Amino acid sequence: MFTEVELKYQVGDFVKVRDKLVTAGAELVSEPSQEKNAVLDLPDRMLENSNVLLRLREFRNEVILTVKKPGSSGPMKIRKEYETVLSTSFRGAMELFTALGYRQVFHYSKTREIWSLGENTHICLDTLFFGKYVEVEADSISRVSSTSKLLGFDPGKGLSSSYRKLQLMYAPDTPENSREMFNS
């Protein structure tokens, strides 16, 4: 378990950000790779109503289970996060959670490139069908702020919304946004 602090910034492309990352001595952790995400909940939406996220993610041949607890509100997203790598396929994990009564309530895919800048600071360059985003994630508000500034962003203008909320804002008419979308 760790505390995740993050901000996102929408960009037109990643050229300037990559240049700044290289200049700052950041390390490329992961080349751009496809990522598949499924958000799960019970039929009564107990998790969503409690502001808890249960997510399955497939990235670079790993299936990762994530639980995010409710966090503090404010200009940055701050949440307790629990993650573990599962020793099953994405499909196998989905079948397991379905057997427990969970259903997929939302899904999204993205291409993600990950950089590391010092201890506990990651910068993700994410491409989704509705836009390109730089996600700055660290273990403290000060690290997110200083890294954002280093990359040329104003932390006061960062986005704390999840990709689910951003997709609802920027692409509201896609099938993935249907409240009735289960098991797709």
Count the alpha carbons within 13 Å of 74 in the hemisphere toward its beta carbon.
10
pLDDT at residue 174 above 70?
no
pTM equals: 0.89
Closest among 89, 94, 112 to 54, alpha carbons compared:
94
User: Where does residue 6 rank: exposed (0-12), middle (13-18), buried (19+ CB within 10 A)?
Assistant: buried
Strand, helix or coil at 56?
strand
pLDDT tens digits, residue range 49-62? 999 999 999 999 99
Q: Can you say how many angstroms the Cα of residue 67 is from the centroid of all Cα atoms in its chain?
A: 12
Q: What percent of the chain has pLDDT over 90?
A: 79
Q: Could you tell me if 90 and 58 are in contact, meaning their C-beta atoms sit under 8 angstroms apart?
A: yes
pLDDT exceeds cutoff 70 at 175: no
- Torsion sign over Cα 10, 14, 16, 18: positive
- Closest by CA position to 162, among listed 106, 115, 111, 116: 106
Domain 2-174 bears CATH identifier 2.40.320.10: yes
How confident is the model over 151-163, as pLDDT tens digits?
A: 999 999 999 988 9
Cβ neighbors of 144 (< 8 A, separation 6 or more) are: 5, 6, 7, 76, 121, 136, 137, 138, 155
Domain boundaries, the chain: 2-174
pLDDT at 182: 36
The rounded percent of the chain whose pLDDT value lies above 70 is 93
Using an 8 Å Cβ cutoff, are 100 and 83 in contact? Answer: no
* pLDDT reading at 183 higher than 60: no
Specify the amino acid at residue 56: L
d(CA 173, CA 168): 8
Place of tokens 């503090």: 72
For residue 157, give the DSSP letter. Answer: G
The residue-averaged pLDDT of 59-84 equals: 91
The mean-pLDDT minimum among 14-18, 38-42, 136-140, 161-165 falls in 161-165
Instruction: Determine the pLDDT at residue 56.
Output: 98
Task: Give the mean pLDDT of the chain.
Answer: 91
Q: Are residues 103 and 56 in contact, defined by beta-carbon separation less than 8 angstroms?
A: no
